């Protein structure tokens, strides 16, 4: 692997870039304060923009590490931060990365997250040299699994009572895609 950190990526409708301190209020307004966005995630909705700013301070400091991959999704049309996608953990010995994401509820179902995730897959496979990328979702949140299917990930199975989200033990559905599958196009990408 050749770690190169969070570099700016571009898609048709989005710029994927590093978070900046001045993003805090809009990030708070667009998704970190939304209980419905956080419903199936590990974190509680933020109570203030200051709470979001404190988190962004930590994330921004982490950009010093070349193995940090954490993007804000900025809509090209208006420069609005609308979500985030990141490598939540990786295993160096197997060149495996796990992705996580969240998106402003006002944009759900419009293809923004698959668009962003495809750019991240390409970067992680082709530039960083990952061999496997995986993602998981709470079994009660099949819409997140739909994103995984759209970017060509294969469902591997359900790990019963494997996850812990906001005080509750949950079943997790696991998906992955391998570098060879990605490069050959030999995967089950759906529209």
Beta strands in the chain (DSSP E): 9-10, 14-17, 70-75, 81-91, 96-103, 132-138, 154-165, 168-178
pLDDT one-digit tens code per residue, 81-111: 999 999 999 999 999 999 999 999 999 999 9
Give yes or no for residue 189 having a pLDDT over 80: no
pLDDT digits (tens, 9 = 90+) for 26-49: 999 999 999 999 998 889 999 999
43-65: average pLDDT: 97
Give 16's Cβ-side CA count (13 Å radius).
27
Residue 64: which residues within 8 A CB-CB, separation 6 or more?
none
The correct answer on CATH 3.60.21.10 for the domain covering 9-133 is: no
Per-residue pLDDT tens for 97-152?
Answer: 999 999 999 999 999 999 999 999 999 999 999 999 999 999 999 999 999 999 99
- Please give the radius of gyration of the chain, using alpha carbons only, rounded to the nearest integer: 16
Largest CA-CA distance found in the chain, in angstroms, rounded: 46
Mean pLDDT of 53-79: 98
Q: What is the C-alpha separation between 162 and 14, in angstroms, rounded?
A: 33
């Amino acid at each position: 692997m050749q770690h190169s950190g969070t570099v700016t990526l571009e898609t048709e409708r989005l710029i994927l870039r590093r978070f900046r301190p001045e993003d805090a209020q809009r990030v708070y307004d667009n998704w970190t304060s939304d209980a419905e966005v956080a419903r199936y995630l590990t974190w509680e909705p933020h109570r203030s923009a200051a709470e979001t700013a404190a988190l962004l301070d930590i994330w921004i400091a982490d950009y010093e590490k070349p193995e940090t991959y954490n993007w804000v999704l900025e809509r090209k049309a208006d420069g609005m931060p609308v979500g985030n996608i990141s490598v939540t953990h990786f295993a160096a010995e197997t060149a495996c990365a796990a992705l996580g994401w969240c998106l402003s509820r006002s944009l759900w179902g419009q293809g923004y997250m698959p668009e962003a995730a495809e750019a991240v897959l390409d970067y992680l496979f082709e530039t960083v040299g990952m061999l496997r990328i995986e993602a998981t979702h709470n079994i009660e949140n099949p819409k997140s699994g739909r994103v995984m299917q759209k970017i060509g990930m294969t469902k591997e199975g359900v790990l019963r009572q494997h996850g812990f989200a906001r005080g509750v033990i949950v079943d997790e559905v696991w998906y992955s895609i391998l570098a060879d599958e990605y490069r050959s196009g030999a995967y089950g990408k759906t529209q």
